[in-house]
Amino acid sequence: MSLKEQLDRDRIPQHVAVIMDGNGRWAAKLGKPRLEGHAAGAKAARRAVEIAHELGIKYITLYAFSIENWNRPDSEVNGLMSLLTSSIAQQFVDLIKNNVRLLTIGDNSMLPDNVRTDIENVVKKSASNTGLTVIIALSYGSRFEIVNAAKSLLKKYSQNPFDIDNLSEKDFADCLYTSQIPDPELLIRTSGEYRISNFLLWQISYSELYFTETLWPDFDEEEFCKAIYDFQHRERRFGKTSEQIKDSK
Would you count residue 47 as binding ligand FPP (CB under 6 A)? Answer: no
Q: Does 125 bind ligand FPP (CB under 6 A)?
A: no
Catalytic residues: 21, 69
The correct pick among 12, 35, 45, 132 for binding ligand FPP (CB under 6 A) is 45
Residues in 77-106 that interact with ligand FPP by CB under 6 A: 83-84, 87-88
Distance from C-alpha of 187 to C-alpha of 54, rounded to nearest angstrom: 19
The answer to the question of residue 24 lying near ligand FPP (CB under 6 A) is: yes
Contact 21, 36 (CB under 8 A): no
Indicate the residue among 19 and 228 with the shorter CB distance to ligand FPP. 19
Using a 10 angstrom Cβ sphere, with 0-12 exposed, 13-18 middle and 19 or more buried, the burial of residue 33 is: middle
Give residues with Cβ within 8 angstroms of 86, minimum separation 6. Answer: none
Nearer to ligand FPP, 31 or 161 (CB): 31
Print the binding letters for residues 195-234 with ligand FPP: x by CB under 6 A, - otherwise: ---------------------x------------------
Whole-Å CA distances, 73 to 68, 76, 196: 12, 5, 22
Q: What angle do CA 54, 55, 61 make, to 5 degrees?
A: 95
Beta carbon of residue 52, minimum distance to ligand FPP (angstroms, whole number): 12
Whichever of 73 and 239 has its CB closer to ligand FPP, that residue is 73
Beta bridge partners of 101: 133
Amino acid identity, residue 205? S
**Positions in the binding site for ligand FPP (CB under 6 A):** 20-25, 38, 41-42, 45, 62, 64, 69, 83-84, 87-88, 136, 216
